[in-house]
Structure 1
Amino acid sequence: MNPINIIIVDDHLLFSQALNGLVSNFDEFNVLKVLNNGKEVIDYISNNNQQPEIILMDIQMPIVNGIEATNWLKNNAPDIKVLALSMECDEVTILKMLRAGAKGYLLKDIHPNILRHALKEVYSNGFYYTENVTNTLLNSIQNAAPNNVSLKDRELEFLKLTVSERTYKEIAEVMCLSPKTIENYREALFEKLEVKTRIGLVLYAIKEKIVIL
């Protein structure tokens, strides 16, 4: 089997070089290129260079950040899978990266074995999310949907809207419901889908193809 080609994108030179050395030591993978920011990714792909299967993408970078670059890839090179690798662990950033098309989200302090496993999973299955993106955000996301889940039309409508950038208050306005009713929908879905956060709802919607990004 030919090695899986990887591009690393990170503006911190020491980290990117260390990551290059780490991934290059994984037998299954080959690092094609180490790039400094999203613009370099766009230029590399646009110039018809050898295409990677996976891009390990930092988020906070100059010129073109990881979210912008991932969104560009989704629209221009959708076969390339983006795996976010960042120090950013706030809910807003994670949601933005997922909406941009990232197939996974890892924090930079993960163990090398988890990184290797994540790369394999993204390549084979199309996505990978750790069970704990952070202690406060993603505490319980299942590998498969809970059995016998039946969602009502309004619950599906609410679930689709959670993937947007709207606040819960704005979702209430779109659905012509009170904030209290929206809160009840949210809590009901938390229980039904066995998740604890909005991130969990978003991941469920993506993984079950209720929302196609």
Structure 2
Amino acid sequence: MLLGLNQVTSYYGKTPILKDIGFDLEEGQCLCVLGRNGVGKTTLLRTIMGLTDRMSGGIQISGDDISKAPTYQRAKYGLGYIPQGRQILSNFTVKENILLGTFARSDGLSEVPPLCLSLFPYLAQNLDKRAGLLSGGQQQQLAIARALATNPKILLLDEPTEGIQPNIVHEIGQTLRRLNTEFGITLILTEQHIKVARKLGDAFLMMENGRIVARGPIAEMTDELVERHMTI
């Protein structure tokens, strides 16, 4: 088991947003977390990264308990995070944004990793371009490259295809598939696009009101489940 959550309840202030969440994730899996807006998907990723006000329960990576570890230590354990909205630094260059990720590495590398350049040729050709001048899809590529610069074992992606034109959605999906199958990086992604989830995922969790209400192999994510838990 690479990642395990056990009876995790997570709070903003005094309000519990996640309630008694538990699951295990094996190395090399791609887990898709689905549900309507506001059910706790983003909070789940932020909890794993240590970005909520407090939590109870346990989180383990490769058997080590990280429940009380600060975010920067969790990054050194191998967690990379691509937040919703990307949160790139628009006044920094492409190169400077990617290099921010290297501060979380344990091997001391302080250059743009070759993987980032090979996966994203446009970024490789525009390292000195100000990030705020990139399109939405290019900024998402940059956010993924920045997270990859941390040398992660697990990538947490919050709505990676949100607000991106369809041809770029396809490119990002192909990139994530390569990261998972070719480079062995374990993925957890929240997603609203059912087609993307079915193409990328090995397994799924369906959430409602801060709880897991369905789970299983991606082949068991039926249209009936999607209708019940995702239709407005």
TM-score between both structures, scaled by the size of structure 2: 0.33
Larger helix percent: 1
Larger radius of gyration: 1
